[in-house]
Structure 1
Amino acid sequence: MLNNMNQCWRVAFISHSPHLAGAERSLANFILNIDRERFSPITILPGEGPLKKILQEAGIPCFNVQFSFSTMNSTIQTAIGNNIKKEIDIAYELADLLLALEVDLVVINTGVVVSGILAAILSNLPKVLHLHGIIGPGLFPGLEVRHWRAEEAFMLANSDLILAPSYWVKSFFQDTFSIEPQQIRVIPNGIVCPTSYKNLEEIGDCRRFVQLCTLEPNKNIIMFLEAARQVVMEGKKNVEFHIYGDGVPAYCEKIEKFIVDNGLGKYCYLHPRTQDIENIYNNCYAAVVTSQIESFSLVAIEAMSYGRPVISTKCGGPEEIIVNGDSGFLIEQNNAKELAEKMCWLIDNPEKASHMGRTGRLICEEKYDVRRLSEIYMKSLSEVCENFWLKKKMTKNHFLWNVREGLINLLVDTENSVSIKNEKIQVLTNNNHFYINSENENEQEKEIYIEHALPLPSPIITGKRTYKVKIDQSNWCGIKVMFGTHQRVNQGTLSIRIYSAMKRSFPIRTLEISLSQLPDNAWVWLKFDPIKNSKDHNFIIEFQTNYLDHSSGISIYEWQKQKYVLRGISKKVFFRNTFGLYGAYIFQKKLE
């Protein structure tokens, strides 16, 4: 059994978006600062975007699966309607990928990808649900709250650990769903504090206030613009208000209309979402958050890390980040007048604004440095993996436990494996016999079952032939097949692919054999890298031939089963019939 000092856990991180909003930037910060000797990260995203680009540049494998936001589909509601099949299909596709990637843990980043939880359940994998927000009608107008809370309850109940970015979020879920305190932990989102940045004294006379967010009603950008209008009306010089983000077209049009109708075109500027936050914060005077609900506020700690004061509404997460009057200001929601007053105060008091920025920087270094938080994050993931995997009872297995569906004899070897993957392999045979060494000295306490049959070869394989099998052991690493060559020296290759039986989306193992190597009417043992999470899963084994001439052709022997029970036999068991050994299949069973 391995311990956490030498175990490298393979973790699949499922992100609901390939873009770089707060939850995705937080995920990227944690993944990029994870210890690669302890964790091997993989990301699964619903498409192309800057998040994927950043992770790929860091050498993180990324895979695309087209899933959708659960809150948009209202999955539990549509279970009554028409779309639940689509959600389940996505879960099966995700489960196929998780099995193919042989992950040890699934982290679902945000609570809007129910198919991620379903896929982890189907794959029998431990699950960490990293919540980044509280979903409600304020964020998603028209949301059926009752149905959504039922879906949340399902996800929470099936998670091995729940992570929240703030105590405000933790309290909501504990109070709403009666979650045990030890099941949900608070790990704030972290950032890498820049080693150098411009002080406020270095940016010149322009007083630039910035807002970075998704352009949607919950962010309440109209409040920011109304406060900007009031600041301009106060006669403040050299002031600018910059908004960075993309969002709902109708809301973007509303923002643009407000700017035009109030003559703010010389003061207020809309910019698309950008990754160049260093340039934004280095050239701004302060950052502003006007949200109705904000579960954390990555913008607040980013601005603080550059030594900038932050003004935020009292909307949840920011109340745990900003020290009112020391590192910024906390104001009432929907109060544009109060926001305008705080912006004017910062303009009129540059020395105090600089002091606030320095205080915020110190708070950020102490509480939100991602390198320190990543240690807490990795410890939490390790605990889930250890509780799920390393504390399970491990059973030894020598050359079998008998899996026989689809009439193929399979070999499970959990201790001795050959690392062969996507390469040419050497064909092994066992000289036309198969036996087991018993480890029990008292043979009278054992029953030996023998199944055998005369062979019935399949038709000559042209194209593909598939078999479905169910594995009842982890670390499945081989198959044993009897081929018929029809007494020919066949030319060409045989490709063998192993898929999950759920969707067959991704091959888990691929082997290739030269047909000229195949013996006639003899066992062929094929080994591959162990599939460690194979227990209780159904697989498809696909054989595909590629003949080089018209005279070549092979078959696979398929058995008709007969069973005998023998008692008190010797330690080595052989079975032959007049045709040689055609499918002796032997296993041991202790008497009750």
Structure 2
Amino acid sequence: MRNATGQLRGQFIFEYIVPTGSTARAVLERDGYAVHELPFVEISRRKEDVLRYFPLLLLNSWRLRQLVRRQGASMVHLNDFYNLTGYVAKAFSLGKLRLVTHVRFLPQSLPQPLARTWRWLAERFADRVVCVSQAVRSYFSEAEKVQVVFDPIPETEQYPVAVVPILRHPTTVELLYLSNYIPGKGQDLALAAFKKAYVYNKQLRLSFIGGDMGMPRNREFREQLEREVQQDGLKQIVSFGSFVTDVEKAMKAADIVLNFSEAESFSLTCLDALYFGIPLIASDCGGPAELFENGGSGILVPNRDVGSMAEAIITLADDPQKRTQFAAASRIFVRQKFSPEATYLRLGRLYATVLTKQ
């Protein structure tokens, strides 16, 4: 959202509301945005979250309604499909509050009783529903209010290159997996595929980079991967890093970017790799299939198919010329498909339509 709103600040005034204690506040304030905090609670299976969820939903919705009135805001944009505060705040306003809902998750991958409820609320009460991909859009009805607006590509490159070099490293082929350590994000599939590919090509190296978001389940997932690497004697071949802020630098140190997530509504990681010209191998898990041309600017492999993943790694690692071709083609493709007209300018027109609605 920050990439999109940054391009529209000459037309609209934006203020952000983030969860209490969010590290996003400092980033947004550095960009000059007014930032407010509310103690949002996500619904989960934990009993304490369930007990807190509905009272805080009502309280946060009332606070949101009051904040909207105090700041003179005309519209609320919910940047999460499952954030219901906007709907309740709209009820408190007797339907006067204008509401845009952004769907960034792949609803097909969510628990369906919840996903269908959120879909009904969005189609019934939001003025517009924004989907980040056609894969997400396919979950909804044909209602005109449901529209696809792609996420913007990065504005600039800090380390521009005229042509991506054929070989970044003289003796190794560096694979990068850039994603938070979350079950379902595909690191386990990538490791399994890498081990198969490494049998055929000892030049391969794999780096995982990401955070655990402070969640025990994610930390355990990373530790499980590290134990597997240790047991297989690959500690000098496979490395694990933490969250990085300079994504471009991390990607441009790699020869190939992998993304084998089991469900993605869009995948900014894939978009960044394509934009920066890093050859990409991604799973056919939703949104990534829309980001590039399979075989022309990247390789798309069947979802959860470790054998196909390994084969793609072997093929691309053995063909530096193909990597160079992919790098050049992907840079052109994403700049054309994710132009301002398809991204932030489209979002700006959507805002203007909602704000002029009587």
Higher relative contact order (CA 8 A, sep 6+): 2
Give the corresponding residue for 1:99. Answer: 69
Q: Distance in 2 between matches of 1:148 and 1:371?
A: 30
User: Which residue of structure 2 aligns with residue 357 of structure 1?
Assistant: 327
Equivalent position SS for 1:341: helix
**Quick one: distance in 1 between partners of 2:342 and 2:56?**
40
Q: Which residue of 1 aligns with 2:117?
A: 150
C-alpha offsets along residues 563-584 of structure 1, whole Å, 9 cap, x if unaligned? xxxxxxxxxxxxxxxxxxxxxx
Aligned equivalents of 1:50, 1:83: Cα separation in 2:
22
Question: Cα gap change, 1:306/1:295 in structure 2, threshold over 3 Å: closer, same or farther?
Answer: same
**Hey, what's the Cα distance between the residues in 2 that align with 1:263 and 1:309?**
28
AA at the equivalent of 1:146: P
The corresponding residue for 1:29 is: 3
Q: Distance in 2 between the 1:148 and 1:184 partners?
A: 16
Q: 284-293 vs 257-266, which deviates more?
A: 257-266
Instruction: Specify whether residues 316 and 125 from structure 1 end up closer, same or farther in structure 2 by C-alpha distance, changes over 3 A only.
Output: same
Of 65, 84, 101, 1:129 maps to: 101
Whichever residue aligns with residue 143 of structure 2, its letter is P
CA distance in 2, matches of 1:276, 1:45: 22
> Which of 134, 137, 140 is the matching residue for 1:170?
137
3-state DSSP of counterpart to 2:278 = coil
Shift of 1:303: 0.4
Contact 2:119 2:140 in 1 (8 A): no
Asked if 1:41 is matched to 2:41, the reply is no
* Counterpart for residue 234 of structure 2: 264
Q: Distance in 1 between matches of 2:185 and 2:29?
A: 30
Structure 2 match to 1:61: 34
Q: Secondary structure at the match of 2:226?
A: helix
Aligned to 2:192: 226
Match of 2:55 in 1: 85
For 1:383, give the aligned amino acid: T
Q: Deviations over 1:524-545 (max 9, x none)?
A: xxxxxxxxxxxxxxxxxxxxxx
Residue 348, structure 1, aligned to residue 313, structure 2: no
Q: Is the 8 Å Cα contact of residues 274 and 334 (structure 2) preserved in structure 1? A: yes
1:111 has 2:81 as partner: yes
- Contact 1:243-1:270 at 8 Å conserved across structures: yes
Contact residue 260 and residue 282 of structure 2 kept, 8 A: yes
Residue identity in the other structure for 2:132: P
Distance 1:59 1:207, change over 3 A: same
SS at match of 1:162: strand
Alignment of structure 1 residues 82-481 onto 2, 5 Å: 83-123=53-93, 124-135=96-107, 143=111, 145-174=112-141, 180-192=142-154, 194-195=156-157, 196-197=160-161, 199-201=164-166, 203-205=168-170, 206-237=172-203, 239-247=204-212, 248-369=218-339, 373-387=343-357, 391=358
1:191 to 1:339, Cα distance in 2 relative to 1, 3 A: same
Task: Give the aligned residue type for 1:313.
Answer: S
The alignment's TM-score, normalised by the length of structure 1, stands at 0.55
**Which structure is higher in strand share?**
1
Deviation at 1:284, TM superposition (A): 0.9
Alpha-carbon shift at residue 70 of structure 1 (Å): 3.8
* Residues 79-111 of structure 1: per-residue CA shift (max 9 Å, x gap): xx7742232112112222222211111000021
Question: Does the Cα contact within 8 Å between 2:65 and 2:92 map onto a contact in 1?
Answer: yes
Amino acid at match of 1:33: Q
Aligned residues: 347
SS in 1 for 2:14: strand
C-alpha distance in 2 between matches for 1:371 and 1:257: 47
Q: Residues 261 and 254 (structure 1 numbering): CA distance in 2 closer, same or farther, change over 3 Å?
A: same
Query: How far off is 1:189 after superposition?
Result: 1.1
- Provide the rounded CA distance (Å) in 1 between the counterparts of 2:233 and 2:339: 41
Q: Structure 1 CA distance, aligned partners of 2:345 and 2:59?
A: 36
> Would you say the 8 A contact 2:132–2:266 is kept in 1?
yes
Q: Matches of 1:373 and 1:296 in 2, distance apart?
A: 13
* CA positional deviation for 1:146: 2.0
Structure 1 residue 249, shift from structure 2 partner? 2.1
Identity %: 20
Distance in structure 1 (CA, Å) of the matches to 2:337 and 2:222 = 35
| Unpaired segments ≥5 residues, structure 2 | 213-217
Q: 2:23 & 2:244 partners in 1: Cα distance?
A: 10
Equivalent residues of 2:29, 2:35 under 8 A apart = yes
Offset of 1:73 from its aligned partner?
7.4
d(CA) in 2 for partners of 1:82, 1:37: 39
Counterpart CA distance in 2 for 1:89 and 1:49 is 19
Flag the 1:379–1:148 CA change in 2: closer, same or farther, 3 A: closer
Q: Take 1:114 and 1:230, find their aligned partners in 2: how far apart are those partners?
A: 44
Asked whether the equivalents of residues 42 and 53 of structure 2 are also in contact (C-alpha less than 8 Å), the reply is no
CA distance in 2, matches of 1:147, 1:165: 19
- CA deviations 1:227-283 (Å, max 9, x no partner) are 11122221331x221112123222222222222222221121221222111111111
Q: What's the CA shift for 1:202?
A: 6.1
Q: 1:288 and 1:231 mapped to 2: Cα distance?
A: 13
